[in-house]
Amino acid sequence: MGKAKFGLAGWVFEGATLSWFGEGRNVWEALPSSEAVYTGVSPAAILQASGQGPAGTIAVRNPRMLDGAYGLEVRAARFEPAPVGGAERGGTLVDPVFIFRRADGEILVVFFGSSAQWDRHSRGAGFWRLADGRLFYPSDLSSKELQLRQSSSWLDYMSSADLGRLLALDRVPDRSMAVMSRHVRVTEPINNLVMLLLALPFILSRERNLKASATLCLLMVGTYYTFIYLCRYIGLPPAWAAWLPILLFGPVAAVMLDSVKT
C-alpha cells in the first residue's frame, strides 16, 4: 500500500490474474495477468502508428495506444522493434504500463514491469510477455482500515475524519449506518446528560419513599434507553434516529427537573 508511480494510492500484487465479468460470463477470451497481457496492440501496430510502417526499424519513444476490445491503454518509455524477418514482427517494450479502465474511464487495474516481449499464443492470440510483472490496484483502503473491517463494529473504531473521508468516497457498505454513526458521536454525550436529568427528579424528591423513587427512576431511565435503540433500529433516517430521543425527552427532563420540590 502506498503512492505508486501512477499518482494513485493502491496495492501492488505479484502473480495476479484479472477476471472481468459481465452478464454472468467472462468478457475476455484471454485473461490478462502479471505474466502476459493479451491485446491487439502489436509491434506492427505501434510502428504503423509512429509513421514508420510495419517494416520500421527505429525505436519509438513513449508509445501510447488504445485497445478498445479490452478497454486497455498501452504505454511504455520506449519500443524497440526486433529485426525484420520471420512470420511476424516482434519487439520489446521498455518500462511497459498496461492500464485497464472501466466504461466511465476510471482505472480498474494496471499491469506493469521492467519490460515486455511480444509473443503469440498457440491459439493465435497475440500478447506481451511481462518481465518482473506486477498488478497495481487503486484503493484508498490502508492496511489499518482493513484490520478495522475485521470487526463487526469497525465503523465505531474509525476517527470522525476517516469516516467522513470514506463517506465522501462512497467506500462504506452501509451508508445509512455510517451517517448515523457520525451523528451518534455527537448525541451520545447529550443522551447521557438527558438520562441524568430524567433520573434526578426522582432522586431529589422527598414526596415519595426511597423504594418508590428508585423504582420510578429505573423505569424512566429504562424507557429512555429503550427508546434510543428503537429509534436506531426501526429504519428511521440517520439524523432522526440519532436526534429524536433528545428532541422528545430533553424538554420533558427540563420540565421535570424544574418542578421538583425538595
In the three-class reduction of DSSP (H, G, I as helix; E, B as strand; rest coil), residue 242 is classed as helix
Q: Tell me what pLDDT residue 57 has.
A: 84
Across-strand partners of 98? 74, 111
Q: How confident is the model at residue 40 (pLDDT cuts 50, 70, 90)?
A: confident
Q: Tell me what pLDDT residue 113 has.
A: 92
Query: Is the pLDDT at 36 greater than 80, yes or no?
Result: yes
Output the CA–CA distances (angstroms, integers) from residue 53 to 43, 46, 67, 146, in the order listed. Answer: 10, 9, 19, 50
* Higher pLDDT, residue 25 or 84: 84
Burial of 145 (0-12, 13-18, 19+ CB in 10 A): middle
> What is the distance between the alpha carbons of residues 30 and 33, in angstroms, rounded to a whole number?
9
Contact 18, 107 (CB under 8 A): no
The model's pLDDT over 237-255, given as tens digits with 9 standing for 90+, comes to: 988 989 999 999 989 888 8
Query: Is the pLDDT at 91 greater than 70, yes or no?
Result: yes
Residue written as grid cell 525505436: 59
Which of 58-62, 157-161, 237-241 is predicted least confidently?
157-161
In the chain, which residue ranges form alpha helices assigned H by DSSP?
A: 43-49, 143-148, 160-169, 175-204, 210-233, 238-258
Q: Tell me what pLDDT residue 75 has.
A: 92
Output the CA–CA distances (angstroms, integers) from residue 144 to 147, 148, 163, 177, 252, in the order listed. Answer: 5, 6, 13, 20, 43
* Higher pLDDT, residue 141 or 252: 252
β-pair type (115-120, 91-94): antiparallel
Burial of 117 (0-12, 13-18, 19+ CB in 10 A): middle
Q: Provide the grid cell at 173.
A: 457498505
Output the CA–CA distances (angstroms, integers) from residue 102 to 66, 68, 162, 167, 176, in the order listed. Answer: 13, 11, 26, 22, 27
Q: Tell me what pLDDT residue 24 has.
A: 47
Q: How confident is the model at residue 21 (pLDDT cuts 50, 70, 90)?
A: low
The model's pLDDT over 207-236, given as tens digits with 9 standing for 90+, comes to: 667 778 788 888 988 999 899 989 888 888
Output the CA–CA distances (angstroms, integers) from residue 125 to 37, 120, 255, in the order listed. Answer: 10, 6, 80
Q: Tell me what pLDDT residue 25 has.
A: 47
Q: What H or E segment, with its residue span, contains residue 110?
A: strand 107-112
Q: Tell me what pLDDT residue 126 has.
A: 86
CA atoms within 13 A on the CB side of 140: 10
Q: Tell me what pLDDT residue 86 has.
A: 61
> How large a percentage of the chain has pLDDT more than 90?
26
Query: Is the pLDDT at 61 greater than 80, yes or no?
Result: yes
Q: Tell me what pLDDT residue 153 has.
A: 59
> What is the distance between the alpha carbons of residues 188 and 176, in angstroms, rounded to a whole number?
17
The model's pLDDT over 95-118, given as tens digits with 9 standing for 90+, comes to: 999 999 887 888 888 999 999 999
The model's pLDDT over 180-208, given as tens digits with 9 standing for 90+, comes to: 888 888 899 999 999 888 888 887 766 66
| Residues in contact with 53: Cβ distance below 8 Å, sequence separation at least 6, in sequence order | 47
